[in-house]
Amino acid sequence: MNHSLWKVLPPAPASYLAGVSNIPPLVAQLLYNRGFTEPSQLAPFLAGDERLSNDPWRLPDIQPAIARIYRALLSGENIAIYGDFDADGITATTLLVQGLTSLGASVTPYIPHRITEGHGLRLAALEKLHQQGISLVISVDCGVTAVNEVSKMQKKGLDIIITDHHTPLEIIPPAIAVVNPKLLNSGYPFLELAGVGVAFKLLQALLQNLGKEELLDRLIDLVAIGTVADMVPLLGENRYLVKQGLKLLNTAPRLGIKEMLNQSRPTRGNLDTDSIAWVIAPRLNTTGRLEHALSGYKLLITDSPAEAQELSSWLERKNAERQRLTERTVTQAREQILAEAISPILIAGDKNYPPGIIGLAAGRLTEEFYRPTVIISTGKHTSMGSCRSIPEFNIINALKQCRHLFTYFGGHPRAAGFTIPTENLGQLKQQLLQIATTELAKIELRPHLSIDAEVDLSELGGDTFPAIQRLAPFGCGNPAPVLLSRRVEVISSQAIGANSDHLKLRLRQSGTTWEAIAFRVGNYQTEIAPLVDIVYNLEVDHWRGEEKLRLNITDFAPINHQ
């Protein structure tokens, strides 16, 4: 088994623990590990309330943006919301369409087709919208790098407002306004909003001006979905937005989400960030991967029970197809990679790799091999690539060094994509391999597990789990706490699942017995010794209407010498 490198985080200083004596020591340690080193920081984080929310008027270009939208509302202009085809873009599009429609605006959604158009503001699409009588385009989750497209369309009389959260280039598009907390001149105190988060703050500023801020309460579920789906840190303002959004998802889910959950979840528990990450977001993303993301938009915005049921059924079938295509692509790409020597960056390409699936395949192989991975869907003249990376290698910086080879590229340090003339693929592979070989030369390429605390299993009863849950919602930047227990006795272990993929264990320590599950390690049952060190999360198992606390084991080490 490819075990991780374990790193137990240092204990919080005694002076810190004394200053937060009203908090259980384990929870205090968890907060310290997440960077809350000053006791004064704890109350707003634990409450996750509006103290974490920031003034939208501090965003760059927010005033000209609101002034232009207000003028469009007063004069009855036709407005288009131009989104991206992932869950972040779909939710952001839905949010602004619903928000502006509630103010009486004439609004048209536009989401480009992943395969035929590609990511970002496209000139042909903007020209088409202009010809249809659109005089103002507001982008969401895209546009900050569209310098040429915006410049050309502004000259033709189409006004564009960009809202985005991606890293800008040196040159900013000459739009009416560019609302992005990551701009160099930004005075916004929180840089990690998702695309839907930036759209939400734009709408918040507009509604504040009009005295109708209460309309936001009906839209914040979309912010939670897009924020979790885009894997931005669930700290600061994102924590507040997601926490509020989850409340709405649990108390009054919109019709499309309700129907999606009815068809996809065999059991119903309270929705949390895992529900978004593993159920809602993959299905919304599937619409853009295999067909057109407007289907996901329609599901989110519909108020027709019949349409919600029809779209959800279709989406469930497409999601199953997406899973099959992903497995096939991963298998083929893995064979390609293993046929060559394993290098610091893994690159595989084939004309049969579906463009909408290559990002998922790259993610799976990055996780398996712990290497940055590039999967390319090759075409006769043009090819599309998707990249996933590890913390030690900034993939977007690597692509920037190869920018002369691309037709288009963009993304984040851990995930990126590009379009490239097929004739440049050989040069790209050579350059990326050279960059990765240099940057990763002295790094042991094994996943690291940061462990919050070492505990005895007997310490986990009583109020421990409810106390830990005060840190929820968990996700990127605020992961579910990882604990370590040493010399745990294995009472029993058995492989379970359709292909015996998982291990079910019964463990004992200090007179306390626990049920445990270890996913995707069924083949390593022979490594289980009578005594093991285990790394795990605490979780609630929902099974046949019952809830039971168990250990979710992420790694283990047998103790062979006692």
Mean pLDDT value across the chain: 92
Query: Which stretches within 76-122 are classed as H helix?
Result: 87-101
The Cα–Cα gap between 436 and 455 comes to 38
pLDDT confidence tier of residue 267, bands split at 50, 70 and 90: very low
The span from the CA of 96 to the CA of 24, in Å, is 42
The Cα–Cα gap between 121 and 163 comes to 12
Mean pLDDT on 352-371: 94
pLDDT at 504 over 80: yes
pLDDT score recorded for residue 2: 58
Helices 281-290 and 305-339: angle between axes, nearest 10 degrees: 80
Taking only the tens place, the pLDDT of each residue in 60-69 is 999 999 999 9
The per-residue pLDDT for 40 is 82
- Model confidence at 545: pLDDT above 70: no
Query: What single-letter amino acid sits at 406?
Result: F
**Residue 81, helix vs strand vs coil:** strand
Output the six-digit token pair for 150.
């915006």
Give the pLDDT mean for 65-94. 97
User: 267 versus 94: which is more confidently predicted?
Assistant: 94
Q: pLDDT digit string (tens) for 156-175?
A: 999 999 999 998 988 999 99
Over the stretch 451-468, which tens digit does the pLDDT of each residue have?
Answer: 999 999 999 988 889 999
Domains of the chain: 5-9+448-558 (2.40.50.460), 56-311 (3.90.1640.30), 340-439 (3.10.310.30)
Across 504-511, average pLDDT: 93
C-alpha to C-alpha distance for 318 and 117, rounded to whole angstroms = 21
pLDDT 10s digits, 187-223: 999 999 999 999 999 999 999 999 999 999 999 999 9
CA atoms of 136 and 177, how far apart (whole Å): 12
The set of long-range contacts for 250-256, using a CB threshold of 8 Å and a minimum separation of 24, is: 253/221, 254/221, 254/300, 255/302, 255/303, 255/304, 255/305, 255/308, 256/298, 256/299, 256/300, 256/301, 256/302, 256/308, 256/311, 256/312
The conformational region for residue 352 under phi > 0 = left, psi -120 to 50 = alpha, else beta, is: alpha
More confident residue, 20 or 9: 9
Give CB contacts under 8 A, 24+ apart, made by 403-411: 405/431, 407/382, 408/118, 408/119, 408/120, 410/119, 410/120, 410/145, 410/166, 411/166, 411/387
